[in-house]
Chains A and B, each alone.
Chain A
């Protein structure tokens, strides 16, 4: 062997070493508590497979005119609006308009949701002149399976618990009409043909299937076997998405993990949390709820911490956009879950767009815009010393 062969062998060995240690040269995973996306723990492999299939439907399936988009639409995929399962951006904000009657019908044929974009060659919808409307900022999509499993008894109990609230907090579940494709849970409470709904900013959808079918149809113009109506002609058309993808996607939503709190042991965070409870924020933003029975181990009979009561509350004239859904009046909004709040800027382009339409540009501003049933408690927040306010905010940022 000559020098050259040694060199060749050395080079080869060097290459092998690099290859074996490859992963060390790759970017580390971001801390688990810094991202929202990801499944709950301990899924079986079959459940992992279904979660992954749903993930593809949610994040990767981009619709085009050829695959059914529109013709009028708001966005091209679920992931476009719910990037990384986080909150949205004014670019992906929905507009809903018009009055809904007692039968759930909107006064306009093409209401309530505006499809303000259109595939080439089509004209998008325009907001009817003079009508009231509300904008909806896409919410965080985490821990949804937990929220879906909160019992209606618990929701009703939270409403009942407020009856004599000295601060004036009330709140009620949204009782809404359901589309025929919804399979009603056994023992579901009803008021006539109205049922307790819980998802969305006005808590107007019954479960994650309901929310998903609406999103396909109204946000993207995708007809399904569940709701075959076309957003443009309003006539029934062929399904543009398979039932299987819808089922997988709903399972994906159900098995998304809950946000993990950061800096829990920081003394400011602990103090901020105490203040949050003391001044009464928890009357609405309930720290702990519990799930019922679920075949998914991680969801089965668990306590979790969403900071919501799933009730709608009168938030005063400032947040009254003159738009109703179900039995939620124009000024009534579902208590926004506060989990994951500190991670909002990571999906909102480094900024905060809070409250139902993103009008609040900071946590402090969101709190100061509370009114109505939250007025007394908001005033207590306003009366806090500046450094105490900072602690409350620091706590909220840790969620």
Chain B
């Protein structure tokens, strides 16, 4: 036998006149909002958009959800060659990359120790493209915990302002617990890491130090 879980029937609900007015008011506001939304959407609408000149990472939505594309451009008032040399020696990068603990050279490969949430993530990358003073690209190898590709490129900035440095990064999160941890690390705020790292690079190259508000060395 089954019991009836429905509540006991209450006395019929009779709205007060004030409540009716309130409901009418809310209805009118929703109606007006809907009408102006419809107007905005349909006024001068276009059925075709030109591919614009903005980088893909600034698109309003990314085509592939599993793949995160991110990056950032920054102007650094140093010559291209100096910035290229610094980056080409991957061992330098932990100085400016907040969550990279260590990078060691292993023949042509670089081994990265990345400080992940709860566990370290290790990454082995190979350089896939290298044009002195122009760009360096790298890609993760089979031995890595995550699939990632990156490229840093250097262009002369206009009006003698130094070099425009662009960092492009792409991650593909693996499945399972590691995947979730990595996703949390790189994808919750995918833009943060690239922009913080480039800003620290700029500080180091332009001023010789990385700004900190720490009042004591132990806290820096």
On whether the two chains bind one another, the answer is no
The chain B residues found within 8 Å of chain A, CB to CB, are none
The chain A residues found within 8 Å of chain B, CB to CB, are none
